Chains A and B, each alone.
Chain A
Amino acid sequence: MATRLKPVDAVIVGVGLTGTILAKELAESGLQVVGLERGRWRDTDPDFGMPYAHDELRFVKRHALMQDLSRETITFRNSASETALPMRNLGSFRPGEGVGGAAVHWGGLTWRFLPWDFETRTRTLERYGKNQVAADCTMQDWGVTYDELEPHFDRFEHLYGISGKAGNIKGKIIPGGNPFEGPRSRDYATPPLKSSYAGTLFKAAAEKLGYKPFPAPSAALSRPYTNEYGATINACVYCGYCQFFGCEMGAKASPQTAVLPNLVKQKKFELRTHANVTKVNLDSAKKRAVSVSYVDSRGREFEQPADLVLLTSYVFNNVRLMLVSGIGKPYDPAAGSGVVGRNYAYQTPSSVTLFFEDRIFNQFMAAGGLGMVIDEFNGDNFDHSGLGFIGGGFFQAATSGARPIEVRPVPRGTPRWGAEWKAAVAKYFNRSFPITIQGACQSYRGNYLDLDPTYRDILGQPLLRMTFDRHENEHKMSVWLTNKAAEIAKAIGPSKMNVNPRTEKYTIVPYQSTHNTGGAVMGADPATSAVNKYLQSWDVPNVFVVGASAFPQNGGYNPTGTVGALTFQALDAIKTRYLKKPGALV
């Protein structure tokens, strides 16, 4: 029997990147806030301390900071004609677990999606007509524009102290930045990181070809920065143990470095770790959330009543909680009706690896977000007429950390083992670098999330089932983009290169990207979106579902910057409108 707890004003399910911000702001504005986190407490000291922090096996291969699948995983299949089976080991993506969520081990690239991204459908149809889009493609507008989000992007980037170089301040193009970005109200909080050798060579070659390279926007900071919450994020030392690791320097912006120092001092905030939320309980009309149920580390069941429920966990758990709780109509791919689980999308990463005979790159001197970028081939920054696809991605000479268990490229044709392989690894470990392409991924009628009929988590609840494959649009895009990147690579002058477009059937095995999106998408129309532009459930207006689960499709960027902007937009609507007059905001 669940113990019924004293009601609070707001309950936050998942204390990661979005949950920490919402908790801090709402507690400070006077609400009694409880944060429920199913994982453990984690902080820079002692969890990411030296020398243990620099352990590739532990953090990359044994997933020390990532989700424990023995308790809960997802099931996966490429299409509805297959039987989904559990993801038994982490592979393609690496969600986090514990306070800070995946933003503890993130790489730190912090982008704004393009103005075009938020109006993908309208602008694509306007420019190319409907034949450019596959019949089963369900990409759509977000119900919000870049201009509306700009102040929220700005707030998030300055909270996290992001290092970068503006390319467009209030419509004025700034040399050295990204000329394709939407206008920003001011420059980044801190200057860009130093350039690696790979980045410098890429920059010279890209400029020669007429492109406009610029340093990647990074959450590993170029200099110490104190944010509006009074938290100080330190300067990155380029140690190269960044993505998949916690930062021992406190130099990577994260909930731990940017928000928690303030949040833990909020008198009206209470954090409960090892609190695994199993359900949002609705009233009999299913129009209002009354409480959440959770189980703690001793197996005790609790019911926490709250006026406001904020789902702020990773994509998968946000969607699963909605489905388990009956918030919104589940998506039915056969009928094309319902919304929860609809428009699951991902990323289409590809790369060109450059090999040299005599140049040394020291790619282990790195930061997760260290890179030189061009954005000419992202979004609709180039003419797609006749190309047979929409979307694009940024190209980056990436110096994100070379550690030899996982990063040991060899030229194509090298055997996978034996003396020849050993010689190639020895030669090229330090004489190679990648140009990576963060390809977009559109949404399709047959790609979705629902509840698995067979497999359960340790509490007996159904696992989330993912049905996903990339489509012809993504494959064509990947080939075209990767060939373009190969032209730049060639201009740099490697002795060999591997050109690796993404054309195979999607597999859950090798790591690709922790950029899962959709399933609880935002929009202007309740028939095709689960939440409105403020991330408020259309059906249960005292529930907000915050995160990349709201992306109607995924753009050619890392998602976190846009997740941050959506968080601040939702917060602004809650604080200025919802709390004064609870109810539907649209």
Chain B
Amino acid sequence: MFFSAAEVAFVDAAVARLIPADALGPGAKEAGVTYFIDQQLFGGWGTMAKMYRQGPHAEGTPQQGYQSPLTPQEIFRVAIREINLQLGRPFEKLAPKEQDEALKNLEEGKLALESVPSRFFFNLLLESTIEGFFSDPIYGGNRDKAGWKLVGFPGVAAAYTTLVDKHGVPYNAEPVSIADLLEGRVAADEHGHPKHVMITRKD
């Protein structure tokens, strides 16, 4: 794991504002997105395993994309510290409205950071939050398939040959994760596609 306790508190609070828990269901925090981001930062993505890291580094134009000499790991670490310093207290101690304001300021570049463009950090945070909310639960986020249930996505697909031309008919399947198949919780057909179980879904 990569995060410190203080960083976990920050990310928990931030992802809870990006995808809040509400009447529609759990939010990113409840779905384990902080844990997901922590795992991702600790692994290949967090250390730019498949990304080009050689210098020289320059900020470049927005069209040129990721140009920071820092890895995603390092970006989370410095950005969280610098944001909390600027706010004068830890982000998680702010009221939800103030948290939204701070996130908006980051998104719009108004809360400027020293080590990394604030918008760049915000986009990294938002992108990894969405990844954590909608990726297979084997990665630690999307707990209880909260993201998939929210949108009605079945996860691992069945063979849809006889369904693709049943037009306009809702397909409300209990979402299936890779682990469900590996651990035998869901039956599979001869090709390894899950046999989806239909559920009632409120729209």
Listed in ascending order, the chain A residues whose CB lies under 8 Å from chain B are 49-52, 54-57, 61-63, 68-70, 73, 76-78, 82-83, 85-89, 91, 194-197, 200, 235-241, 248-249, 359-362, 364-366, 370, 399, 402-405, 408, 416-419, 421-423, 425-426, 429-430, 454-456, 505-509
**Within the assembled complex, what's the spacing in Å between the Cα atoms of A50 and B170?**
25
Write the nearest CB–CB distance from B44 to chain A, whole angstroms: 7
In the complex, chain A residues whose CB is within 8 Å of the CB of B65? 87-89, 91, 507-509
Known contacts A91-B65, A418-B18, A509-B65; 9 additional CB pairs below 8 A are A57-B131, A70-B49, A78-B61, A89-B52, A200-B167, A361-B168, A399-B164, A417-B126, A430-B152
**Within the assembled complex, what's the spacing in Å between the Cα atoms of A91 and B51?**
11
In the complex, chain A residues whose CB is within 8 Å of the CB of B17? 417-418
Write the nearest CB–CB distance from A366 to chain B, whole angstroms: 8
In the complex, chain A residues whose CB is within 8 Å of the CB of B167? 196-197, 200
Is residue B98 contacting chain A, with contact meaning CB distance below 8 A? no
Give a binary string over B143-187; 1 marks a CB under 8 Å from any A CB, 0 the rest.
000011011111111111101110111110000001001100000
Q: Which of A241, A365, A408, A425 has the most CB of B within 10 A?
A: A365
Q: Once the chains bind, are B61 and A405 in contact (CB under 8 Å)? A: no
**Within the assembled complex, what's the spacing in Å between the Cα atoms of A69 and B103?**
31
Is residue B199 contacting chain A, with contact meaning CB distance below 8 A? no
Write the nearest CB–CB distance from A225 to chain B, whole angstroms: 16
In the complex, chain A residues whose CB is within 8 Å of the CB of B158? 239
Write the nearest CB–CB distance from B147 to chain A, whole angstroms: 7
13 pairs from A and B in contact (CB 8 Å cutoff): A51-B181, A70-B48, A70-B50, A83-B58, A91-B65, A235-B161, A417-B19, A417-B129, A421-B19, A426-B24, A429-B151, A430-B170, A507-B63
Listed in ascending order, the chain B residues whose CB lies under 8 Å from chain A are 17-20, 22, 24, 27, 44-45, 48-54, 56, 58, 60-67, 100, 103, 107, 126, 129-131, 134-136, 138-139, 147-148, 150-161, 163-165, 167-171, 178, 181-182, 188, 191-194
Q: Once the chains bind, are A70 and B161 in contact (CB under 8 Å)? A: no
B171 touches which of A63, A73, A362, A419 (Cβ 8 Å)? A362
Q: Once the chains bind, are B148 and A404 in contact (CB under 8 Å)? A: yes
In the complex, chain A residues whose CB is within 8 Å of the CB of B131? 57, 61, 405
* 8 A-B pairs closest in CB distance: A50-B192, A429-B151, A237-B159, A197-B167, A239-B157, A57-B135, A365-B160, A507-B63
A248 touches which of B126, B160, B192 (Cβ 8 Å)? B192
Write the nearest CB–CB distance from B111 to chain A, whole angstroms: 16
In the complex, chain A residues whose CB is within 8 Å of the CB of B164? 194, 196, 238, 362, 365-366, 370, 399
**Within the assembled complex, what's the spacing in Å between the Cα atoms of A363 and B116?**
38
Write the nearest CB–CB distance from B20 to chain A, whole angstroms: 5
In the complex, chain A residues whose CB is within 8 Å of the CB of B24? 422-423, 426
**Within the assembled complex, what's the spacing in Å between the Cα atoms of A97 and B184?**
33
In the complex, chain B residues whose CB is within 8 Å of the CB of A68? 50
Take A194-B164, A235-B161, A416-B126 as given contacts and tell me if A508 and B63 are in contact as well, using a CB distance cutoff of 8 Å.
yes
Q: Once the chains bind, are A237 and B48 in contact (CB under 8 Å)? A: no
In the complex, chain A residues whose CB is within 8 Å of the CB of B54? 86, 455-456
Q: Once the chains bind, are B157 and A364 in contact (CB under 8 Å)? A: yes
Q: Once the chains bind, are B165 and A360 in contact (CB under 8 Å)? A: no
B153 touches which of A49, A238, A403, A418 (Cβ 8 Å)? A403
In the complex, chain A residues whose CB is within 8 Å of the CB of B147? 404
In the complex, chain B residues whose CB is within 8 Å of the CB of A416? 107, 126
Q: Once the chains bind, are B192 and A425 in contact (CB under 8 Å)? A: no
- Considering the complex, give the chain B residue whose CB is closest to the CB of A507: B63
A88 touches which of B44, B51, B152, B163 (Cβ 8 Å)? B51
Write the nearest CB–CB distance from A67 to chain B, whole angstroms: 8
**Within the assembled complex, what's the spacing in Å between the Cα atoms of A406 and B22?**
23
Write the nearest CB–CB distance from A521 to chain B, whole angstroms: 25
Take A197-B167, A248-B192 as given contacts and tell me if A57 and B139 are in contact as well, using a CB distance cutoff of 8 Å.
yes
**Within the assembled complex, what's the spacing in Å between the Cα atoms of A456 and B154?**
44
In the complex, chain A residues whose CB is within 8 Å of the CB of B169? 360, 362
In the complex, chain A residues whose CB is within 8 Å of the CB of B66? 88-89
Q: Once the chains bind, are A507 and B191 in contact (CB under 8 Å)? A: no
Q: Once the chains bind, are A241 and B157 in contact (CB under 8 Å)? A: yes
A70 touches which of B52, B152, B154, B191 (Cβ 8 Å)? B52
Q: Once the chains bind, are B51 and A508 in contact (CB under 8 Å)? A: no
**Within the assembled complex, what's the spacing in Å between the Cα atoms of A365 and B56?**
45
In the complex, chain B residues whose CB is within 8 Å of the CB of A417? 17-19, 103, 126, 129
In the complex, chain B residues whose CB is within 8 Å of the CB of A429? 151-153
In the complex, chain B residues whose CB is within 8 Å of the CB of A430? 151-152, 170
**Within the assembled complex, what's the spacing in Å between the Cα atoms of A402 and B164?**
13
Write the nearest CB–CB distance from B179 to chain A, whole angstroms: 9
B156 touches which of A51, A61, A70, A456 (Cβ 8 Å)? A51
Write the nearest CB–CB distance from B69 to chain A, whole angstroms: 10
Take A237-B161, A404-B153 as given contacts and tell me if A509 and B50 are in contact as well, using a CB distance cutoff of 8 Å.
no
Q: Which of A82, A88, A360, A455 has the most CB of B within 10 A?
A: A88
Q: Once the chains bind, are B160 and A237 in contact (CB under 8 Å)? A: yes
- Considering the complex, give the chain A residue whose CB is closest to the CB of B155: A54
**Within the assembled complex, what's the spacing in Å between the Cα atoms of A532 and B157?**
46
Write the nearest CB–CB distance from B39 to chain A, whole angstroms: 11
Q: Once the chains bind, are B150 and A422 in contact (CB under 8 Å)? A: yes
Write the nearest CB–CB distance from B9 to chain A, whole angstroms: 19
